[in-house]
Amino acid sequence: MENKYLNEAIIGNKNMIATFTSKGEMQRIYFPNRENRQYINFFHTGVKVNTSDLIYLHDDINNVYKQYYDTDTNILNTEITNTYFNLTIVQTDYVLIKENVLVKRYTLLNESKIDLDIDFYIHSELLTNENNWVGCKIVDGGMMQYAHDFTFSTFAKGYEIYKHQINGSKENIKRCDIHDKDYIGMSKDSSVGYQIGTIKPNEKKTIEICILIDENKSGTQIEEEIDRIKRLDLNKEYTSTKTYWRKFVKTHNGLNMKEPKNSYEEKIYEIYKRSILLFPLLTNQETGGIIASPEIDEYFTKCGRYAYCWPRDAVFITRAMDILNMNKETEKFYKIFCKNTQSKNGMWEQRFFTDGKLAPCWGYQVDETASVVYGVYEHYKYTKSEKFLKDNLKMCEKAIDFLKKYIKDWLDIKDEEKDIVKEEIENETNRQGHKYHISYDLWEMHEGVHLYSLASIYGAFDAIKKIYDILGENISDFNNNRLKEEKKLKNEKELNYLQLEIKKYIDKNMYDEKAKTYLRNTEDEKMDISMLGTVVPFNMFGAKDKKVQNTVERINLHLRTYTGGYQRFENDHYMNGNPWPISNLWMTLYYLETGEKKKAKETFDFVVKTAGKHYFLGEQIDNSTLKPNWVIGLGWSHAMFIIVLEQLSNMFN
């Protein structure tokens, strides 16, 4: 597959998502999950005007582009004006709500003074490998590209094929000279052409292309399904899709934000609504698993890929979803996805496919496990559902048991009630080094003991104590109330002890006496935005603690760029070390804790002014252009925006 790094726009339904460039080229289409089956290497469309060669819609020197969503929807429009022929084509892309069909509607308007005779072409190449070779069969109105276990059918509604080519069309598609005697062949790329006919000055014509992905079925089942889709009233389907998304936005206006009064509020409002529209496109509706972002780098050329579910990222996203009245989706994440992915020992691995299967990983991250326990309690705060806590208690207890063992192992904490001399002898005899694998930091770049990781464990211990307080006698399966109370008190005593030991360890090993600031780990003295996790969200330290304030002052000296954006950490070289919206929003949350509203607004405003043209937030901001860079539409960035906005919402209502 070609390297296509920037997804400027995203559309989809509960089973299918597709991503596009700013020029309307469809880069990826995923089905039936959001991450583990991508079908196209490229999908190109173009027109022949009078006697011209093929004019690619996504790439021609004479094309001028304008792109926008239908208001409050996941329906994308790309206006392509060819200035040589004065031909404007409005390409409208959307996925039906009740059918797993992507519709590409092309409305062609002749704005010249002469007649334009137009043919429309599609050139599609599917991804394949030696064990899953692709063929193509011409069907009524289009082509069915297929392998053993799937079909990818592209067909027009109301148009018959004018010409086609299955083998070797790369050689002559540019000249629009495709031709083939065969109706079926072995090729991963194929082309079809349609005659639009003559369009007179100021006249318009429309062609609608449907993409249907299905399993490869026997007999005529696929062609019968194509015929059924062709009978749909696509005007009604378009209206239904638009109505669905607009209602979705209204239903999930959890902050009850009102219509904006000025351009500044309008941009905030648009990012807010785009976040509402993005989250369902990232979420597996069956399991609750949430990808970090639609994929941008399948072949690991610059990163480790993004279309996986990290429990940590998802915990931030589910908190935002709770704010947006998406409580059922959040509940699925914990009750289905987290339960299905928890390891036997109680931990969660780094990342998963959204169906719960283990994804490629490269190391252990202890904050993934701690975040889930923290997140369970956070969800309860929005729903007040004791049943939810009961349903997830055993899962949380397993995780807490693991975290207890992990923290004792790595911080060398002795159990209060054990014979310390005897334990030291046992350790020396039976164990070399540590029992548990050392953890990566949340940026997945450094192995060691990290301040953020310790804070997440501290926060998990706090969460389980609060869960016990809420559930009272339901904390175990004991029938004897006295034993239940004993278990609760013993557990609480141990958790308090471990929290105290975590703080002692930090004071001894992760505090710079000279600079009077905290350290991000035990290995270096670099400032790191994740150090704010000790305050927000995990409440291990107070926002106004002198040591914390000194640390924030040093963060401002070392991580704030000349543009007002904040980097993740000192000497961050990933994708040129740009500022991250997450970092700025973390600073905003900190300043809101201290009551410094002016500073909170400054750090927040940087994110607002650097949002993308469709109001997507990226993983990073290019310092030189102040535009989103690398990943566009990062779930974690949008989640942090919503979490901040919850606290700021009174300013805009």
- pLDDT grade for 26, boundaries at 50, 70 and 90: very high
What does the pLDDT read at residue 146? 93
State mean pLDDT over 97-110.
97
What does the pLDDT read at residue 476? 52
What does the pLDDT read at residue 424? 47
What does the pLDDT read at residue 426? 44
pLDDT tens digits, residue range 199-248? 999 999 999 999 999 999 888 899 999 999 999 999 999 999 999 999 99
What does the pLDDT read at residue 194? 97
Note the pTM of the prediction, 2 decimals. 0.94
- pLDDT grade for 651, boundaries at 50, 70 and 90: low
523 closest CA partner among 537, 507, 509 = 509
Share of the chain above pLDDT 70, in %: 94
Residue 313: pLDDT above 90?
Answer: yes
Picking from 241-245, 256-260, 545-549, which range would have the lowest pLDDT averaged per residue?
256-260
In words, the CATH class of domain 261-651 is mainly alpha
State mean pLDDT over 184-193.
94
SS3 labels along 47-84: EEECCCCCEECCCCCCEEEEEEECCCCCCEEEEEEECC
What does the pLDDT read at residue 422? 44
Q: What does the mean pLDDT of the chain come to?
A: 93
- Are the beta carbons of 597 and 609 closer than 8 angstroms? no
Look up tokens 């022949």; give the residue. 48
What does the pLDDT read at residue 168? 87
Residue 592 is encoded by which pair of tokens? 């809101």
Question: Residue 156's beta-bridge partner residues?
Answer: 209
Question: Dihedral angle at the C-alpha atoms of 327, 332, 337, 338, nearest 10 degrees?
Answer: 60
* Spatial separation of the C-alpha atoms in residues 438 and 431, rounded to whole Å: 15
368: left (phi over 0), alpha (psi -120 to 50) or beta: alpha
- Of 2.70.98.10, 3.30.420.10, 3.40.50.2300, 3.30.300.30, which CATH number belongs to 9-222+231-248? 2.70.98.10
What does the pLDDT read at residue 131? 65
Q: Which helix (H) or strand (E) holds 470?
A: helix 451-471
Question: Can you say whether the dihedral through the CA atoms of 78, 83, 84, 87 is positive or negative?
Answer: positive
* Spatial separation of the C-alpha atoms in residues 428 and 451, rounded to whole Å: 28
Residue 420: pLDDT above 60?
Answer: no
State mean pLDDT over 256-262.
92
- Are the beta carbons of 120 and 106 closer than 8 angstroms? yes
pLDDT tens digits, residue range 477-523? 444 566 567 777 888 999 999 999 999 999 999 999 999 999 999 99
What does the pLDDT read at residue 650? 59
Picking from 70-74, 181-185, 268-272, which range would have the lowest pLDDT averaged per residue?
181-185
* Spatial separation of the C-alpha atoms in residues 508 and 202, rounded to whole Å: 77
* Spatial separation of the C-alpha atoms in residues 455 and 461, rounded to whole Å: 10
pLDDT tens digits, residue range 571-616? 999 988 899 999 999 999 999 999 999 999 999 999 999 999 999 9
134-152 residues labelled b (16+ CB within 10 A) or e (exposed): bbbbbbebbbbbbbeebbb
* Spatial separation of the C-alpha atoms in residues 401 and 395, rounded to whole Å: 10
Please count the other Cβ atoms lying within 10 Å of the Cβ belonging to residue 300.
Answer: 9
Residues ≥6 apart with Cβ < 8 Å to 646 = 255, 323
Three-class SS state of 629:
strand
**In the chain, where are the structural domains located?**
9-222+231-248, 261-651
